[in-house]
């Protein structure tokens, strides 16, 4: 069948993939090949102004890369704002030796405790718990500090 032909022709063993990957890394370090990037470099924007502003921010200040992209008019070759504009700004700042650990990055803040919803039996209908979110958060934070509850462990360090 067509799927069997595709899998036999397209399959790559672990050793083959490892050797291909090592060969590609050698080509990149030798300068014969450029490293892949998902952000590209064909953008028009006021990057130097953005860099100066970010370098002038105090330690621990909040930073939002998408907002910076809008603020400094990041546009692609078509004159549109790319969908990954925040990634482009972050990559630009990292390439210019800006230490990201000095900032509180938008989206990487403390984990939000979500409100539980009651389910009606044998249906997909949910009913909110009567306790307000503020009360629930205050109670849960107190219980977490006492050690009676655990929020869990981070799977990926931030």
> What does the buried/exposed string (b/e) look like for 97-128 if buried means 16 or more CB atoms within 10 Å of the residue's CB?
ebeeeebeeeeeeeeeeeeeeeeeeeeeeeee
Give the model confidence (pLDDT) of 97-138 as tens digits: 999 888 888 766 666 666 666 667 777 777 765 777 788 889
Report the run of H or E that residue 63 belongs to, with start and end. Answer: strand 62-63
Q: Distance between CA atoms of 103 and 112, rounded to whole angstroms?
A: 19
> pTM surpassing 0.95?
no
23 belongs to a structural domain? no
77 belongs to a structural domain? yes
25 belongs to a structural domain? no
The pLDDT of residue 123 is 73
138 belongs to a structural domain? yes
Above 70 in pLDDT, residue 43? yes
**For the chain, what's the residue count?**
158
C-beta of residue 45 within 8 angstroms of C-beta of residue 72 = yes
Q: Which domain holds residue 121?
A: 117-146
């Amino acid at each position: 069948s067509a799927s069997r032909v595709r899998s036999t022709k397209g399959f790559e063993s672990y050793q083959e993939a490892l050797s291909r990957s090592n060969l590609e890394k050698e080509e990149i370090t030798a300068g014969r090949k450029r490293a892949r990037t998902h952000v590209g470099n064909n953008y028009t924007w006021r990057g130097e102004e953005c860099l100066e502003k970010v370098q002038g921010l105090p330690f621990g200040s909040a930073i939002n890369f998408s907002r910076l992209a809008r603020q400094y008019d990041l546009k692609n070759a078509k004159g549109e704002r790319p969908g990954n504009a925040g990634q482009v700004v972050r990559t630009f700042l990292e390439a210019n030796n800006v230490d990201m650990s000095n900032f509180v990055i938008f989206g990487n803040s403390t984990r939000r405790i979500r409100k539980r919803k009651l389910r009606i039996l044998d249906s997909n209908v949910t009913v909110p718990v009567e306790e307000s979110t503020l009360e629930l958060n205050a109670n849960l934070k107190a219980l977490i500090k006492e050690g009676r509850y655990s929020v869990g462990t981070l799977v990926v360090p931030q």
